[in-house]
Chains A and B, each alone.
Chain A
Amino acid sequence: MATQILMPALSPTMTEGKLARWLKQVGDEVRAGEVIAEIETDKATMEVEAVDEGRLARILVAEGTEGVAVNTPIAVLGAEGEDFSPAPQAASRAGAVTPVAVAAPAHVAADLDWGPTRPTTVREALRDAMAAELRADDRVFLLGEEVAQYQGAYKVSQGLLDEFGPRRIIDTPITEQGFAGLAVGAAMNGLRPIVEFMTFNFSMQAIDQIINSAAKTLYMSGGQMGCPIVFRGPNGAASRVGAQHSQCYASWYAHCPGLKVVAPWSAADAKGLLRAAIRDPNPVIFLENEILYGQVSEVPTDPDFLLPIGRAKVERAGTDVTLVALSIMVGVALKAAEALAEQGISAEVINLRTLRPLDIGTVVASVKKTGRIVTVEEGWPFAGIGAEVNMQVIERCFDWLDAPPARVHGLDVPLPYAANLEKLALPQPDWVVAAVTKLF
């Protein structure tokens, strides 16, 4: 009996990949565990092993094909001795492969007109931002686990070692507290480190150095000793990596005076804000998102492109309700806004971009116009970003509210692994729609 070989997912967030090379040809015998093909994603090249044994009956996706969706049949394995006939490959390929177009996030105009743009992934935007600042300032260096020779655990630092060498692109052992403390010490002495945490989950190992050493020293020294440093890396849930690797630290760090906290959504956010973070004379927590790394959007090509820390952006204008979101939840809010538009509700979507200092002015101006607010965040509700934004709205424009402030947030549980449970725990566009419709 023939079995189909499907395009495998090689990482929790992979949705598609390139079938780089077939190592077996039609008619070849294949043993279980044998490598039959190579697949490339934007992060890595991986080998595909056969699960069953048999003879390769058909190749459904030719080598070199890009954008092969996960779970697409790529070949057919016939059982030993089974009769098979070679298939017309072109026809099969056409039917089997559905290249997935990466949708650019809906955007209103950027704050300033920076001129021509080009489509860029968030990953490239982050790399480009670091490269630009590394070129501009010898005090800037990048250190972290796998940032140099491996080119970044998520390939964010791809190519940086080649351009800047091992003095400035530095692999560390797996010792978050030690290397975070080292970087803070270097910053106190005037260097400008960028510390990559493989994910922010691991920053908990180093949180004493971030809060007690980086954030407080300027104050404790009466302004003598600042700490110009960026801590960056993916934050929040990725995809099915379980509770310990899926936490949002937005409210943890935003709680602390002495830090700035930035959470970009689009590629332009990523580039413009990371450059600003590296130039900032203060410690900046830069919360990226793994699922966003591969998303493409327009980034100005102007070499001086920079976005100010502390300013939110209205991503979509509306009149009936204000949706306030951060990071990946900006996309969720925009989808919800589209669905709401079909129901005749006009939602304004604000991308916070920076959590500390919070641009409450933009939020309040919007709420005064719409009379309603729903915050959208991935993190837990208790003492969360939504709680803070809504409280500040109550303090500043209570009389403009036509309905109680509402919040959409990740459920108050450690994030489960099972696919269905995980989806149930993280905010979806229909949660936002439901929260909004309750306000009318």
Chain B
Amino acid sequence: MAHAAEAGKRGRTRTGVSKAGGFSSDELLRAYREMLLIRRFEEKAGQLYGMGLIGGFCHLYIGQEAVVVGLQMALKEGDQVITSYRDHGHMLVTGMAPRGVMAELTGRAGGYSRGKGGSMHMFSKERNFFGGHGIVGAQASLGTGLAFSNRYRGNDNVCLTYFGEGASNQGQVYESFNLAALMKLPVVYVIENNRYGMGTSVERASASQDLSKNGAPWGIPGAQVDGMDVEAVKLAGEVAVAHCRAGNGPFLLEMKTYRYRGHSMSDPAKYRTREEVQKMRTERDCIDTVHARLTELGVTEPEIKQIDDAVKQIVQDAAEFAQTSPEPDPAELWTDVLVEG
């Protein structure tokens, strides 16, 4: 449990603006760019939803960007990522093209699933992103299986298996913990604790409040991490990934984060106050924090604005592509039900 204590301590102490050690300015710039891309992408998705161009369920990641960006920085090529339906950020950070993701949201032929998956069901074998799963908690077992495949093949890849604090109450999460610990599988379970499973706060849903201890009965080390601080996230991720890569079995990270938007687009948001959301946005925002750090390190506003403009351009391009890409051919209805031959 030495790792856990270490990571946990780092995580908890790294609140707000982290000054000691941490990222180089290049790393900070990368984190800033990637977090900003997710934010702008999600804002645009929200707009397109409002215009009726995106249908069904659409779960935005705004507020939680530091989690996926920091953790992805701890991975290497070949490591897998799997998550729930709040998945747009995960896809962008694994290197999937914003055009393809946005076009899937609009249900167009240019989408990653050729319009047949939608917001919650996108995959990229090439980028080792395994979805995009709409059933709460199901990806915990699937991610355990991805880790199993790494061990079976004898490689040292690790699977990052994300789920929310709401999913952390599902029975199969604990079945997975047991299996992963028994088999010593290289899986980092990441609980993205954004404090609300739909409209139910974590206090009302979980008898355990320190979710990083939820793997303790199986001897799975865990750490609670400030998920609004991308540097703390990356550091904790490195500890967890190294633990798994070395063959020590699973690791559990609880990312204390916050979503600014509703659970989905149709969320009346009666379960929390405007003030609570506003306080997080103004005091703890992951992008503002990095922006401030960049300024401290002497990165100038024009340089930052250059990034802002580039990101804006990427998102605008993705939105245009998503609106101009044709709808899938009706023949697509009958393809991909089974692998033929």
Contacts and interface: CB of A to CB of B under 8 A. Distances in A.
A141 B171 contact: no
Contacts of A185: 82, 130, 141-149
Given A191-B152, A220-B117, A223-B335, A212 B135 contact: yes
Interface string A216-254: 011111111110100000000000000000000000000
Interface residues of A, number: 40
A178 B176 contact: yes
Task: Name which of A188, A191, A212, A221 has the most chain B CB atoms within 10 A of its CB.
Answer: A221
A224 B125 contact: yes
Contact of A221 (B121, B134, B182): B121
A182 B144 contact: yes
Interface in A179-215: 179-191, 208-209, 212-213
B196 interface: no
Interface stretch (B46-54, B108-116, B237-245, B260-268): B108-116
B131 interface: yes
Given A180-B141, A186-B149, A191-B152, A173 B179 contact: yes
B113 A188 contact: no
A179 B337 contact: no
Contacts, number: 143
A218 B339 contact: yes
B123 A217 contact: yes
B124 interface: yes
A178 B112 CA distance: 28
Nearest to B125: A224
B161 to A, nearest CB: 9
A353 B146 CA distance: 32
A438 interface: no
B117 to A, nearest CB: 4
B130 A225 contact: yes
Given A182-B141, A212-B135, A260 B148 contact: no
Contact of B141 (A167, A178, A281): A178
Given A173-B179, A173-B182, A178-B176, A218 B149 contact: no
Given A219-B336, A223-B336, A190 B149 contact: yes
B140 interface: yes
B145 A189 contact: yes
Task: Name which of B116, B124, B145, B337 has the most chain A CB atoms within 10 A of its CB.
Answer: B145
A177 interface: yes
B14 interface: no
Given A186-B148, A190-B149, A222 B112 contact: yes
A143 to B, nearest CB: 9
28 contacts: A141-B152, A175-B172, A181-B138, A181-B145, A181-B176, A182-B176, A183-B145, A184-B142, A184-B145, A185-B130, A185-B142, A186-B146, A188-B145, A189-B130, A189-B149, A208-B138, A212-B134, A213-B135, A220-B113, A220-B117, A220-B123, A223-B335, A224-B125, A225-B123, A225-B125, A225-B131, A226-B339, A282-B339
Interface of B: 80, 82, 111-117, 121-125, 130-135, 138, 140-149, 152, 171-172, 175-176, 178-179, 182, 335-339, 341
Interface of A: 141, 167, 172-173, 175, 177-191, 208-209, 212-213, 217-226, 228, 257-258, 260, 281-282
The 10 closest A-B pairs by CB, nearest first: A185-B145, A181-B141, A178-B175, A185-B142, A222-B114, A222-B113, A220-B121, A223-B336, A281-B339, A175-B175
